[in-house]
Structure 1
Amino acid sequence: MAGLRSIIALAFVLAIGFLLVILSCALYYNWWPLLVVATYILAPIPNALCARCAGEYDVMSDYNSGVVDAGHFITGIFIVTGFCLPFVLAHAEVITVPAMVMSICGGVLVYGTIIAYTHFFSQQDDDY
């Protein structure tokens, strides 16, 4: 039952994060902060593709390669872009500062939800 409660809580926090991003667009009549949602969608894709292509799911648990590292690097680029894009848009005066703050808070909630989900529901490997 604890798993169901944590999924419901994570879904609620994720919905609040997306709501903040959408409100940062709708309240200030400027839809540029919605570009941040593209980084939410694109961020996990390089990690998943590079891990699958490199054979990370093989029998050897300590296997690592440059392809996996490249996937982590590109995912990191997307995550940093998700946080920095509202700063750049606000600096260029494309969006207002309150829209920037709401977009960044929404991003923190969305990425925090993704991290919490992977922490709670990752499969634990036995060492023996």
Structure 2
Amino acid sequence: MTMVILACSLPQYKLWWPFFVVLFYVLAPIPTLLARRYTEHQGSSNSCLETAIFLTMGLIVSAFALPIVLARVAVIQWGACYLTLAGNVVIFATLLGFFLTFDQDDSDYNMW
């Protein structure tokens, strides 16, 4: 989040358009969390979970695409775009670590 805030508030950038990626940070894990909560793990194929992962991937790609599109149309500067993309990598790596850690069967935190 620090990189996204820096992309918005540094004196040479001064625009808060990159902050809209925070919406993707909030929305991205919701389909997967709901699918894992309300489906049973039966067999190798689960269409509900696969659809949720597809929607999550669409939101993640959109989070990376938004700053690039804003920089291409010259709404924001490329430096702000790079800071936002670096913030995206950190946030989504953290979300991936969360899902990998708490999805284990031996964990007491299967309620997530």
What TM-score comes out, normalization by structure 2 length?
A: 0.82
Cα offset for 1:124?
3.9
Counterpart residue number, 1:45: 30
Tell me if the contact between 1:36 and 1:85 (Cα under 8 Å) persists in the aligned partners.
yes
Q: Which runs of 5+ in 1 are unaligned?
A: 1-17
Counterpart residue number, 2:21: 36
CA distance in 1, matches of 2:105, 2:2: 33
> CA offsets per residue over residues 57-114 of structure 1, 9 Å max, x none?
5xx4x25332221111100000111111110110111110000000000110111122
Runs of 4+ in 1 over 6 A off after TM superposition: none
**Root mean square deviation of aligned Cα:** 1.8
Higher helix share: 1
**Rg larger in structure:** 1
Q: Which has the higher contact order (CA 8 A, sep 6+)?
A: 1
Aligned length: 104
Partner SS state of residue 64, structure 1: coil
What TM-score comes out, normalization by structure 1 length?
A: 0.73
CA distance in 2, matches of 1:20, 1:38: 15
Counterpart residue number, 2:76: 95
Partner SS state of residue 88, structure 2: helix
> Would the alpha carbon gap of residues 121 and 66 (structure 1) be closer, same or farther in structure 2, given more than 3 Å must change?
closer
- Percent identity over the alignment is 38
Q: Which runs of 5+ in 2 are unaligned?
A: 107-112
CA distance in 1, matches of 2:49, 2:98: 21
